């Protein structure tokens, strides 16, 4: 997975977003150079897309796949997209307070510390379902890492669609979240517009290349 070398606070500042949504309590005192610049409609739409990708740690190709899946579902595509992203296992670990950030949650899942309904799952993008029981393996619960994590996350609010036992490092998915339960500062309607435009552009580019290849 590609890793951005741009500091988190700088990325948040460029997107006019509070780092708290990434799990970081500190804020930058600097002002973005773009703060007073008027953005085009496309620029605003692109910013919303970048926000969603940054918050959930999803790269471009997987993000398009989520969009395609959301589009096939009934209801509003934008709301479906946000719900799919929120159902990712790494996000649920973060929401339950078993990790300080989603980046750390991905590491925890990758290191095979997470059980879903008693079975080890090491896929950060795994989509949870209502009724799933998420827990940290008992053999690692007493490690200093999780003591440090709980010291930071113990006072955080857990979303209403989840139930957490922070002492046992276990939680239950009470229901699939609705869009109203997801507290991320993303305009998913604008987000979907720009994703749709990119997909159309990509399809047209492929068609042109295929036509050119056939002509040659």
Higher pLDDT, 10 or 123: 123
pLDDT level of residue 2 (50, 70, 90 thresholds):
very low
Residue 8 confidence (pLDDT): 77
pLDDT at 138 over 90: yes
| pLDDT of amino acid 195 | 59
Percentage, residues of the chain above pLDDT 70: 78
The token pair that represents 205 in the structure block: 């580019």
For tokens 């692109």, name the residue: 46
Q: What is the pLDDT of residue 192?
A: 60
**Domains by residue range for the chain, with CATH:** 8-85+180-215 (1.10.1050.10), 88-176 (3.10.290.10)
Assigned token pair, 144: 């200093």
Better-scored residue on pLDDT, 190 or 128: 128
For 152-197, what is each residue's pLDDT tens digit?
998 889 999 999 999 999 999 999 999 999 999 888 776 566 555 5
pTM of the predicted protein model:
0.80
pLDDT bin (cut points 50, 70, 90) of residue 210 is: low
pLDDT band at 9 (very low <50, low <70, confident <90, very high): confident
Task: Express each pLDDT in 51-85 by its tens digit.
Answer: 999 999 999 999 999 999 999 999 999 999 999 99
């Amino acid at each position: 997975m590609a890793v951005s070398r741009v500091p988190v606070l700088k990325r948040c500042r460029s997107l006019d977003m509070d780092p708290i949504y990434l799990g970081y309590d500190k804020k930058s005192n600097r002002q973005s150079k773009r703060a007073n610049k008027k953005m085009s409609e496309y620029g605003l739409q692109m910013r919303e897309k970048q926000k969603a990708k940054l918050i959930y740690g999803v790269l471009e190709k997987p993000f398009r796949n989520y969009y395609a899946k959301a589009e096939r579902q009934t209801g509003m595509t934008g709301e479906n997209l946000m719900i799919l992203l929120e159902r990712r296992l790494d996000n649920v670990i973060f929401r339950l307070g078993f990790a300080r950030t989603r980046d750390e949650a991905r590491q925890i899942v990758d290191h095979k510390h997470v059980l879903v309904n008693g079975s080890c799952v090491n896929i950060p993008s795994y989509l949870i379902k209502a009724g799933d029981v998420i827990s940290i393996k008992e053999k690692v619960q007493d490690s200093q890492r999780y003591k440090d994590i709980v010291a930071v996350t113990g006072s955080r609010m857990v979303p209403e669609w989840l139930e957490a036992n922070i002492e046992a490092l276990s939680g239950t998915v009470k229901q699939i979240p609705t869009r109203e339960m997801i507290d991320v500062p993303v305009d998913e309607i604008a987000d979907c517009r720009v994703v749709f435009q990119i997909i159309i552009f990509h399809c047209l580019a492929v068609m042109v290349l295929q036509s050119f290849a056939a002509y040659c």
